[in-house]
Structure 1
Amino acid sequence: MHQDVLSSRVQSYDGIPAWLYDKFPAPAHAYPWPLNSAPPVGDWFFGYITEACSHGFQCLYDNVSGAVESMSKFWRLVAKTFGGYSNVLGYELINEPWAGNYIANPFLILPGIAGSTNLQPLYDKLAKAIRSVDKKTLIFYEPVTWGVRLNGKYVGTGFTHVPGGDSYRDRSVLSYHYYCIVLSLDPVPGNGTIPIFERVLCDDIEGPAVFESVRVDLLRLGGSAFLTEFGGCDDSPTCDEQLRWALGAADEFYQSWAYWGAVRDQKTTIDRLARVYARAIAGKPILNMYVPERRYFYLTYYIDTTINEPTEIFVPNLHFPKASYNVTVSDTLKWKVDSTNPNIVLVEPSDQLLRNGDAVIIGTVEINPKM
């Protein structure tokens, strides 16, 4: 469910139906308290600070006027309707959930408290409704946006299990977003260059903290993770700098990603987002990287000969038209182009490796442009 600032009643759009928000009791102070005036359109996110918004979220979490039951029925209907579609990746329960009524309970500002008190109980109930009609489709669950910088009971996500419990680990995806805070608060003009101090804060401190925090949570919770929002910038050098770092980090941490924004007329952004990547690895990855300036891809992994499917590497036609690339693999591997999709390179254990039956073998794959 996509939402920003919950409701049209607080000058946003309806993440939850207006009729449901209208059933909630009025907050102690009218919108936009404690702000003096409604936030301008460009600063819409300050709407979360208003008591009217925070109170509305808390009413949802507390099942006021049967809000949780209504939302459960909604998700059950969605799952029943779309669960059989092969092109449905998953169900994301709530986009960028707010902590709740932090004015009534200031401890909710701590992301771990918000997660354990408000989000996890809601997610368990929604997951139960979905799983009553759809046992297979992935469920994406998201902490508060500032809950993926650190780990721990109070400063992490606050989750102790995936929605529905540990038996659903293999169908659960921790959803998270990354927008560097300093660039959000102090945007750099699109035709400029990100100052070195801000690049250090983003690329060396905050960004790595996000990906490492998610990695640690996955070790504890199980399941997978997906960077479901990043970018959201224009077709500019500043935007390109941000994308380059985030995409490289996603490769390093083996994270799926989804860019936020419309790019159909943004050639620089499209060029940056079109990348060579391994969409399936028949073994345990060691290193995965793509250097866009050189159009160079490198993958090394422990080969698992018990896996009967090949490693699959996507090669975008945008950067390699008419298969204008060279593939180099180690002696332990062999490769071919997928006969049904010319943009896919299939990599399998070599015949010699299969005959020898070696226990622990490392394979490498390199892809370069033809010169």
Structure 2
Amino acid sequence: MEKIRVREMEFVDNQGRIRLFHGVNIVCKDKSLGYVYKLSKNEISQLRDLGFNVVRLGIIWDGLEPEPGVYNEEYLGRLEEIVNLCAEHEIYVILDMHQDLYSVRYSDGAPEWATITDSLPEPSEVAIWSDAYMSPAVMRAFDHFWANDPAPDGIGLQDHFAKCWQIIARRFKNRPEILGYDLLNEPSPGSLSAHVLSTILKTLTQLKIIDEAPKSIEELTKLWSIEDRIEILKKLDDEKTYRKAILAAEPHLKKFDKETLTRFYERIAKAIRTETPHGIIFLEGNYFSNAGIPSHIDPIRGEKLQAYSPHIYDLVVDTPYIITHFSERRVKVIAQSHHETQKRLKMPVIIGEWGAFGRRKGIKKVCEYLLDTFDELKWSWIYWAWEREFTKTEAARLIARPYPEAVAGELISFSYKNGTFTMKWIADSKTPTIVRLPKEYKWSEITIKPKTNYEIEEETKRLMIKTAHSGKHILVIKH
């Protein structure tokens, strides 16, 4: 497999072709399974048949370092089995240090020994699982992590975390199928989260979206039902109003991004680079950037291989209203925010998470709106998330669609509308351009202007286009 590098806002391969990635998250949060799914060759083959060429593979800190300074090589070996299967099927892998609610004590992530809460109140019963990010215990655990406070062995929490990444990089450093390293999933700013949410709620009262803000975070999480929030979100189904509501909290997060999160990324990248110069460093914005609050992280100084990997979810994610009350307007604000950050950072983008549709049906309109948004911005993406019999879901059928996998030249645009794929590019005649077709995709007509020869690989359904001349070309594939 070709090593992938970065050229300004594009991923490129050894031949200088622009590369795009479509794929799925495989993240096992189940401690009873050892935080690793046992995957068959057939299950990975099914992903290739969907046209996927990347997997974001979750690593859980608790699985890797169950005791301070004790590293579970058997765990890495089981993860490596998945990497091996992906490599056999020409699927790249991003290694993702995953967490939700910081710790295995509350969900997944840090081991128990690395969870320091100063005996503050634990998460109570909440309407949506992510509300628990606002519990005093979870916020304090993040505070200690960001401060690099000592673990029970006297070594800083971040120092332990950096050592874990060094161990990971050492294990996988000679694997060309490792696209890179996602340093920390959805990093929460700890106690600062309470100020962020409080500011947003005060702004909602000023905008007359709500009559009175809850007096405390505890009151918010205990008393506000999902239905209460849905009524508020109906009033935020407006770009201007939604933008005003979230931007009010931006000043709180700017300092955290620049002084805490960026420095953390530099520390972890340095640990990885002591082992290998290869692999892209994937940077996420803080947890609240998922909602569209602009990220203010800075590029890692001196790092040539780095990319931006934000997540996109509407605020109705993880509720029964994920389809019925989905807001294209809110998602447009979120996507615009990520795009502005991309331009500021001058990095390529891969959307690390989106979707979360599970086994729901009736998702076509919502799913296609998101996919069309990504295509318009020429973004790569990784769907959340794989599960057993994933290929039988409506989501899998919808996200399996044609896309330019490798473009020799300049990619102008591509789209997939009503079963017709269209791509415009300024061709470079030196190397072939590849369009990836899902195995089950049936076409009635393939047209290239100017007329150009092509061939289709039987096993992978890659459409190989070798242009005879440079210049603008148009490809149309009709279903």
> What SS does the corresponding residue of 2:317 show, helix, strand or coil?
helix
User: Which amino acid in structure 2 is aligned with residue 136 of structure 1?
Assistant: H
Map 1:200-211 to 2 at 5 A: 202-203=327-328, 205-211=329-335
Does the C-alpha gap of structure 1 residues 53 and 290 become closer, same or farther in structure 2, counting only changes over 3 Å?
Answer: same
Offset, 1:81:
0.4
Alignment-derived partner of residue 188 in structure 1:
321
Map 1:25-64 to 2 at 5 A: 26=118, 29-32=120-123, 38-40=124-126, 43-64=128-149
Does the C-alpha gap of structure 1 residues 43 and 110 become closer, same or farther in structure 2, counting only changes over 3 Å?
Answer: same
> What SS does the corresponding residue of 1:349 show, helix, strand or coil?
coil
Does the C-alpha gap of structure 1 residues 75 and 47 become closer, same or farther in structure 2, counting only changes over 3 Å?
Answer: same
Question: Deviation digits for residues 312-343 of structure 1, max 9, x if unmatched?
Answer: 101111122xxx54221111x62322557551
Does the C-alpha gap of structure 1 residues 270 and 104 become closer, same or farther in structure 2, counting only changes over 3 Å?
Answer: closer
> What SS does the corresponding residue of 1:285 show, helix, strand or coil?
strand
Does structure 1 retain, via aligned residues, the 8 Å contact 2:291–2:314?
no
Q: Which shifted more, 104-113 or 93-102?
A: 104-113
User: Which amino acid in structure 2 is aligned with residue 159 of structure 1?
Assistant: I
Q: Which of 305, 327, 351 is the aligned partner of 2:446?
A: 327
Offset, 1:215:
2.0
Query: Any stretches of 5+ residues in structure 2 without a counterpart?
Result: 1-96, 151-155, 197-248
Does structure 1 retain, via aligned residues, the 8 Å contact 2:307–2:347?
yes
Does the C-alpha gap of structure 1 residues 141 and 74 become closer, same or farther in structure 2, counting only changes over 3 Å?
Answer: same
C-alpha distance in structure 2 between counterparts of 1:104 and 1:249, whole Å: 31
Does structure 1 retain, via aligned residues, the 8 Å contact 2:188–2:286?
yes
| TM-score relative to the length of structure 2 | 0.62
Q: Does 1:314 align with 2:436?
A: yes
C-alpha distance in structure 2 between counterparts of 1:217 and 1:108, whole Å: 13
C-alpha distance in structure 1 between counterparts of 2:294 and 2:102, whole Å: 23
User: Which amino acid in structure 1 is aligned with residue 320 of structure 2?
Assistant: P
Does the C-alpha gap of structure 1 residues 148 and 110 become closer, same or farther in structure 2, counting only changes over 3 Å?
Answer: farther
User: Which amino acid in structure 1 is aligned with residue 170 of structure 2?
Assistant: K
Map 1:59-208 to 2 at 5 A: 59-65=144-150, 66-102=156-192, 110-147=252-289, 155-161=293-299, 163=300, 165=301, 167-169=302-304, 171-181=305-315, 183-184=316-317, 187-188=320-321, 194=324, 198-199=325-326, 202-203=327-328, 205-208=329-332
Does structure 1 retain, via aligned residues, the 8 Å contact 2:456–2:464?
yes
C-alpha distance in structure 1 between counterparts of 2:250 and 2:420, whole Å: 45
Q: Which shifted more, 140-149 or 250-259?
A: 140-149
C-alpha distance in structure 1 between counterparts of 2:193 and 2:402, whole Å: 47
Does structure 2 retain, via aligned residues, the 8 Å contact 1:282–1:311?
yes
User: Which amino acid in structure 2 is aligned with residue 80 of structure 1?
Assistant: R
Q: Which shifted more, 87-96 or 112-121?
A: 112-121
Q: Which of 348, 353, 361 is the aligned partner of 1:224?
A: 348
Offset, 1:108:
8.7
User: Which amino acid in structure 1 is aligned with residue 107 of structure 2?
Assistant: S
Offset, 1:239:
2.8
> What SS does the corresponding residue of 1:64 show, helix, strand or coil?
coil
Query: Any stretches of 5+ residues in structure 1 without a counterpart?
Result: 33-37, 355-360
C-alpha distance in structure 1 between counterparts of 2:167 and 2:195, whole Å: 33
Does the C-alpha gap of structure 1 residues 325 and 80 become closer, same or farther in structure 2, counting only changes over 3 Å?
Answer: farther
Identity %: 22
C-alpha distance in structure 2 between counterparts of 1:299 and 1:258, whole Å: 21
Does the C-alpha gap of structure 1 residues 71 and 222 become closer, same or farther in structure 2, counting only changes over 3 Å?
Answer: same
Does structure 2 retain, via aligned residues, the 8 Å contact 1:226–1:257?
yes
CA RMSD of aligned residues (A): 2.5
Alignment-derived partner of residue 251 in structure 1:
375
